[in-house]
Amino acid sequence: MIGTMSAATQIRMRVLARVTGLVFACVIATGCMTGNDSQPSNQTTGTIFGAALGGAVGGLAFGSAGGVVGGALVGALAGNLVGRALDDQERRRLAEATQRAYASDTDEATVYTVEPAKTNSSAPPPPPTVVAAKPAGPKTVRPDGGTCRPIELTATKNGQTTRETTTFCQASGSSELKPVSV
């Protein structure tokens, strides 16, 4: 098949192959450089894989280096948005756990496990993220009729656990919780 292509098309295909190879090499190198034994965020991973896939598709579709670059930019944007949504999913689950802990009559923790996104990579997937919220004290009533309660928030992501106790308050007649700086 290469013998039937024009010389200009063959040169474009070689340039495309080199640029695509460079994009994939950057993806692999970036994926390996996580520093401090930590995994990149879902948003970063989505951006990297989106750029690589978009660059490859753009290059094949347009047969030029410009197609690779344009495809990589579009892919990076799409991957970033998908990755951010996954990070948002973890935040949403922690907010749900906080609401349940705030309303709880017991001191039991509400725990959610958020599975990592599936990838086509041969590398083992990162462990799931575990978020939890637990009442750290009783509700107190404020002079304006609102209530406050300290909640212990815990998040374990990529083997690192973060724990923080924050007081949340709810205005009288509202269902919205707001953290209060102490």
Tens of pLDDT, residue by residue over 74-104, are 556 555 544 443 477 888 898 899 999 999 9
Query: What would the pLDDT profile of 32-89 be if each residue is shown by its tens digit?
Result: 444 444 555 655 656 665 666 566 656 655 666 666 666 666 556 555 544 443 477 8
Domain range annotation of the chain: 2-83, 106-180
Residue 101's alpha-carbon distances to 58, 121, 153, in angstroms, are 48, 37, 10
Q: Where are the beta strands (DSSP E) in 94-159?
A: 110-114, 129-135, 140-141, 147-157
**pLDDT on residue 39:** 55
Taking the model in full, what pTM does it have? 0.53
**pLDDT on residue 121:** 76
- To 5 degrees, how large is the angle CA 88–CA 121–CA 161? 45
CA dihedral 31, 34, 37, 40 (to 10 degrees): -80
Backbone angles phi, psi at 148, to 5 degrees: -130, 150
Best-predicted range by mean pLDDT among 11-15, 28-32, 42-46, 104-108? 104-108
Residue 31 reports pLDDT greater than 70? no
Q: Across residues 154-174, what is the average pLDDT?
A: 89
Which ranges of the chain would DSSP assign to H, the alpha helix? 7-32, 42-62, 65-103
Residue 181 reports pLDDT greater than 90? no
Q: Across residues 103-109, what is the average pLDDT?
A: 93
Low-confidence winner among 11-20, 132-141, 146-155 (lowest mean pLDDT): 11-20
